[in-house]
Structure 1
C-alpha cells in the first residue's frame, strides 16, 4: 500500500513537472544554470580573481541565434568569493554569454533590445562633449563563452574566464627645449577602432584621443600615467599613430605638429596588445628616433639606457 502511494505521488510530480514546462506559444520550460567568474591575467595565466580588480560584472545572455535575451549583474563579493551566479535558460541547445567587467561611465554601451545581436551590440569610446575627440575607456575585463544543457545533469555550474580587454600606452618624449612648459605640448593618439562588439572583436571606426603631459626632473615630457586604449586587431593590419604637438603662440593660430609616429626605427608598427602596456619613446635630440617596448599591465618603461 505504501509503495503504491509513493509511486502515485512520484507520477503526479512528474506530470506536474511536465505540465509546468508548457507555456504560451509552446515555449519549452526554463532551467537554472550557474556561472562562476574566474579572472585571469592573460599574459601570465595567473588567477587574479581574489585581487578585487573587477568591481562588478555584467553577464549578457544571448540565445543560440545570437539574439539578446537579458542581463545579469554580479557584484565584487560574488566574483571574489567565486559564488555561482544563477542564469535562467530555456531548454534549448545552447546560449552565448558575453561577460564584461568594470563597465562604468567612461564608454558608451548599446541600449540592448530583443532585436540586438552579438555583432551589433557594442561597447565603444564615448565622445567628449563639444569636442571631436574620444575619452579613454575604463579598465575593462571580458570573456565570451557558450553555455547549454548538460546531458548528464539538468543543473550545471560553468566557469567563465575573463581577462583584461583594453591595452595601455605610456608616452615619453626626450629632447624638448630645456625649461619647456608642459602646458605648451600635447599628444593625439589615432586609433582605427572605436570599441568592441559583444564577441570582443574591435570595431573599425577611426577615433582620436588627446593626452596632455607633464615634465619630469630630467626634462622628459611624458603622459601623466599609462592610459587605456582599445586594443589593435591582430587579424588584420591595424596600428596606432601618435602625434606630438606644440600649441600655437597666436590666439587663433594652428598648433604645430612636431612628430607623427606609427612605427619604430625598424619599421615595426605601433600595435596595442590587450592586457599589456605599449611604451613609446620619441627621441628628438638629433633626428627623430622612435623606440617601442611592451611591458606588463602595471609596469612602465623609463628608458634609462637611452
Structure 2
C-alpha cells in the first residue's frame, strides 16, 4: 500500500513539474499558434540566475529560495518578451520560420550557458525542508513534490483568472478570434500577444527554479530535457488546451512512475508509446479541438 501511495503522489508531483513547463507552451500555442522550441532556454536561464541569487543570499534560507523563484519568473518573462519582440513578431503566420528561429535560439542558448557556467552540472542546495519527507498513509513523500503541486496549482489558477477576469485577458481572447476587428477598435493586439509570451516565460522560469531543486543540480541541458516531456504533455493534452495539459501532465508522470517501478525502468518508452497511440487514435489530443 505504501509503495502505491509513493508512486501515485510522486507521479502527481512530477506531473506538476511537467505542467509548469508545458503551461507556457500550451498557452502560447493556444492563443498565438506559435510552437516555441526555445522554451527550454527560458527555463534554464531562469534556473541559473535563480541559483546565483540563492548563492548570494544563502541557499539554506526560505527568503533566498522564494526570492530565487521570483527572480526566475522575472528572468523567464523578460527573456520571453525579448524573444517575441525581436524574433517572433516579424514571423507571425510564417510557422516554418518560427520553428527554425526558435530551434536556432535554443541551440545558441545552450552553447552560451555552457560558455558562462560550464558543461558540468552544478549541485545545488536549498532549504532543508525540501529534502525531508512527510508521511502519508504509511508512505514517506519528499516535500519537494508538495511544493511542485502547490506551485502548479497557483500558476494554473493565475493564468485562468488573468484570461477570464482582466481587461488584457479579454483583449487577448478577442484578438485570437478576430484580430482585425480588435485592431479596428484601436486596440494594440501585438502588445497583448507580447504579454502572453511574458506569462509563458514566467511560468517556465518558476518551473526552472523548482526543477533544479527537484534534480538537486542545474545544467545547461536541463531545459532541453524537460522540454521533451513538455511537448509530449502538450500534444497528448491537446495543443492549446491548458486544462488538457494539466490532465496530460499528471497522466504521463504517473504512468512513467509506475512503469519505472514495475516494468524495469521503461517509463520513458511507455510515455512515447502513449504519445504514438494518442496521435493515431485522437490526433487532436485529449481536449484539443479538431482542425
TM-score, normalized by the shorter chain, greater than 0.5: no
More strand by share: 1
Q: TM-score, normalising length from structure 2? A: 0.25
- Scaled by the length of structure 1, the TM-score of the pair is 0.24
Identify which of structures 1 and 2 has the higher relative contact order when contacts are C-alpha pairs closer than 8 Å and 6+ apart: 2
Q: Which has the higher helix share?
A: 2
Bigger-Rg structure (1/2): 1
